[in-house]
Chain A
Amino acid sequence: MRTQEPPPWDVDGPVRGEVFLVWLNDDHLELTGPDGAVPWIMQLDDVEHPVEAVDRIVRGLVGAPLVVHSTSWRREGPAVLLSFVAVIGPEQAAGMASEPIPRATLARSEATRAPSAIGHAQVLEHGIRHLAWLAQDDEAVAHRLSPDWRRALGDYVPEPFRSLP
């Protein structure tokens, strides 16, 4: 029997959130989410602040995140996609499919142009480098991350100090 499948039901709206739900599994970082180890897509409106919306939705599904931080944005089709890294604990990741996060090269833009193509792995790489920088520079973020977390982030060169002469 063949199966006729319509286009899958999808999030719409001009502004969307793309949440990378990350956690520390012993000594390495993993990506998880309600849909598995993929970016978690959600709709954002013009009323609630995007960070508050992401915090609320993550909190509602797996409990309060340790950190929520917006790390980049890009245009995707008709929408603007805001990317977030949300840090959760191991007990919150239990029951959801999860995979180690591989390293990736960054998507480099030109001086006045966006990169021609950006993959999810590159967005996540950028997000974790951003988090690594925050762990050193932002007291609120550093305070929420354990020494083990900060050690794991030590492998990610802080973005503001990378590739500069």
Chain B
Amino acid sequence: MTEPMRLRCACGWEANGSEEELIVAATEHGEQVHNMRPTREEVMAMVITDPPDD
């Protein structure tokens, strides 16, 4: 099972979920709010990662 990921738009909007869920949510957000359709690469490049503790 893949770890859920988190993404944040410059406007502050955030989404959590699997890669496919993020693609769907970010595409919908981009089209509805910002009049743009992000590519898969653009969406995945903005995923926030939590590195392991030092």
Contacts and interface: CB of A to CB of B under 8 A. Distances in A.
B21 to A, nearest CB: 16
B10 A41 contact: yes
B53 interface: yes
- Name, among B11, B26, B42, B48, the residue most crowded by chain A CB atoms within 10 Å (CB to CB): B11
Interface residues of B, number: 25
A152 interface: no
Contact of A9 (B35, B38, B49): B38
Interface string A1-31: 1111111111111000100000000000000
Nearest to A61: B32
A34 B13 CA distance: 9
Given A1-B53, A35-B12, A41-B11, A6 B45 contact: yes
A72 interface: no
